[in-house]
Amino acid sequence: MDAQASYLAELVQHGLLIPTGVDGLYGRSGVFEDVVDRFNTVITGVGGKDGAEVMRFPPAINRQHFEESEYLKSFPQLAGTVHSFMGNERDHMALLDTLEKKGDWTTGQKATQVVMTPAACYPIYPTMAKRGPLPKEGRLVDVYSYCFRHEPSLDPARMQLFRMREYVRLGTPDQVMEFRQLWLDRGQKLMASLKVPLKIDVANDPFFGRAGKMLAVNQRDQNLKFELLIPITSEEKPTACLSFNYHQDHFGHLFGIQQQDGSWAHTACVGFGLERIALALFRKHGLDVKQWPAAVREKLWP
Amino acid sequence: MDAQASYLAELVQHGLLIPTGVDGLYGRSGVFEDVVDRFNTVITGVGGKDGAEVMRFPPAINRQHFEESEYLKSFPQLAGTVHSFMGNERDHMALLDTLEKKGDWTTGQKATQVVMTPAACYPIYPTMAKRGPLPKEGRLVDVYSYCFRHEPSLDPARMQLFRMREYVRLGTPDQVMEFRQLWLDRGQKLMASLKVPLKIDVANDPFFGRAGKMLAVNQRDQNLKFELLIPITSEEKPTACLSFNYHQDHFGHLFGIQQQDGSWAHTACVGFGLERIALALFRKHGLDVKQWPAAVREKLWP
């Protein structure tokens, strides 16, 4: 934790991150943002020729779709619902009065129809379901958005709001497994070209509670999730910067995405954690991008 | 309203916007996003040489700063607070049970420390205050983020989540008024170069309730807000695509941003509504960007 807090302090001191007073919520400097944008362009350089459909969603999704996604079963602690004031003028006066008296005015807020996006790919499943059965070749989608996870932390690599770029494959088990293997290879090659140390490992999501422990074990036993890990503030516990997930027919079943033969579509995704990758690059190559190795600079600023 | 709903339907039919089932919440196609990105680059082309400090904040801000901003006094109905599950395993079972029974599980959510960003410039005022008194020449900041306003609508130009690019000037009244005039001129020239019809008018913010009516009248009487209006779905009621706001010492006073002489800083901002501008361009020049006038294409895709 000390290494994390001290890297955070260093990033703030160099102006790359701008503190807001909330752990895990930071502004980014122009330089930090440029690294994120450049790396995002590099991803497109690798995946852009595959013919993915580009979709860009705002950082919140339809609450009904969120409920259908079963995210609340697995990660209730991470989700963020968006609430608003829906009262009349009298309610408004009461709200301001509570605020004035330093009381908790938030208890009067009512849930809106939107929930913070938990992962960039969530909005595409209901979108794809509406189109009817998948074509024989399946589908490939390119998404990118800010995501929210309520886990305040001093670890700069664990932000509450961060960006995730994903390619998502929908199709037969063979199609999606082939896609995942392709990106396992591409991801390693790409990150190696940026001269950061990396390893691939099987992983699990942070499922909630005791029941969640079982889900985590199952996920690992079935090799459903791999992560590309890069040391940021610890060699022993490197940080997941890319993840390669096979959802089986979880989303296909929940949202009703069918294959040609009427069976549920399988899905897989590769996700890039943009802030984490930027933090890994700053950690490895230094806080001054002008001093980064020539090979890395050529890759990002060609 | 019919014209708005029918333009929305047209945008969806052409795949430029992707419905999510919630009014005012849409995915964007790659083409729509490209127009937004290109126009954003054009803004930088106009304002980039002024030496603004680039800051990029995520789409939520510190709740404490939000409370201090007095946004709740003026626009409680538009704000979005982010809430999360903070219970134990028993609470979790109860939540899932409520969800299963189609009950309202959201009442158990507790407010987190973050609130959706209401306007792109909000996070910078506390940030600037922390730096101490402004230098003699004041400050200039460049921000860009998704913003949230809870106003579900069938008008595609009234989204719940949309992007706002802003330049914000902090300084003496003369400095900030000069800045606003500069951007009033630049904004008109820029939009005219994109061949859209436009006019400038005095305007007011959508203050809540009866007391809000007074605030709106005051704002207009004092010429604090101008808007650059472009017809999108109505000639009679064109849509505000840029706004030019003089806050007097409102934010300086609330957040404690001082000038050299100890008085509160004045602030002004120019805000570009990226989705609205894209929608205006698609409306005026057609839904196929390849058919846009050469002069417009050269500007956006130089």
Instruction: Say yes or no to pLDDT of A232 above 80.
Output: yes
pLDDT above 90 covers what percent of chain A?
A: 99
Q: How confident is the model at residue A247 (pLDDT cuts 50, 70, 90)?
A: very high
Return the pLDDT at B269. 98
Residues of B in contact with A118 (CB under 8 A): none
The answer, for B18 touching chain A at a CB cutoff of 8 Å, is: yes
Instruction: Say yes or no to pLDDT of B253 above 70.
Output: yes
How many CB atoms lie under 10 A from the CB of residue B291? 9
Pairwise CB contact (< 8 Å): A77 & B56: no
Q: Which of B95, B112, B114 lies nearest to residue A76, judging by beta carbons?
A: B95
Instruction: Say yes or no to pLDDT of B161 above 80.
Output: yes
Q: How confident is the model at residue B115 (pLDDT cuts 50, 70, 90)?
A: very high
Return the pLDDT at A1. 62
Cα B170 to Cα A91, A142, B125, B267, B295: the distances in Å are 35, 39, 9, 5, 35
pLDDT above 70 covers what percent of chain B?
A: 100
- State the average pLDDT over residues B148-176: 98
Pairwise CB contact (< 8 Å): B58 & A109: no
Q: Is B11 helix (H, G, I), strand (E, B) or coil?
A: helix
Question: Using CA atoms, how far apart are residues B262 and A206, in angstroms rounded to an integer?
Answer: 50
Place of tokens 């209730």: A76
Q: Please say whether the beta carbons of A253 and A262 come within 8 A.
A: no
Search chain B and give the residue with CA nearest A88. Answer: B209
A186-190 long-range contacts (CB < 8 A, ≥24 apart) are: A186/A46, A186/A47, A187/A228, A187/A242, A187/A244, A187/A270, A188/A228, A190/A42, A190/A43, A190/A46
Pairwise CB contact (< 8 Å): B123 & A27: yes
pLDDT digits (tens, 9 = 90+) for A108-122: 999 999 999 999 999
| Per-chain mean pLDDT for chain B | 97
Counting one residue from chain A and one from chain B, the pairs whose CB atoms sit within 8 A come to 216
Question: Using CA atoms, how far apart are residues A290 and B289, in angstroms rounded to an integer?
Answer: 37
Minimal Cα–Cα distance from A57 to chain B, Å? 4
Candidates A83, A15, A146; CA nearest to B163 is A146
Place of tokens 């209901």: A126
Phi, psi dihedral angles at A151 (to 5 degrees): -145, 70
Return the pLDDT at B162. 98
Minimal Cα–Cα distance from A258 to chain B, Å? 19
What DSSP character marks residue B26? E
Return the pLDDT at B267. 98
| Per-chain mean pLDDT for chain A | 97
Minimal Cα–Cα distance from A263 to chain B, Å? 24
pLDDT digits (tens, 9 = 90+) for B190-244: 999 999 999 999 999 999 999 899 999 999 999 999 999 999 999 999 999 999 9
Candidates B169, B190, B199, B239; CA nearest to B38 is B190
Return the pLDDT at B1. 61
Q: Which distant-in-sequence residues (6+ apart) come within 8 Å of B294 by Cβ? A: none
Alpha helices in chain A (DSSP H): 2-13, 30-47, 63-68, 71-74, 89-100, 124-130, 173-193, 209-221, 250-255, 274-285, 294-300
pLDDT digits (tens, 9 = 90+) for A189-226: 999 999 999 999 999 999 999 989 999 999 999 999 99
The answer to whether the pTM exceeds 0.80 is yes
The answer, for A73 touching chain B at a CB cutoff of 8 Å, is: yes
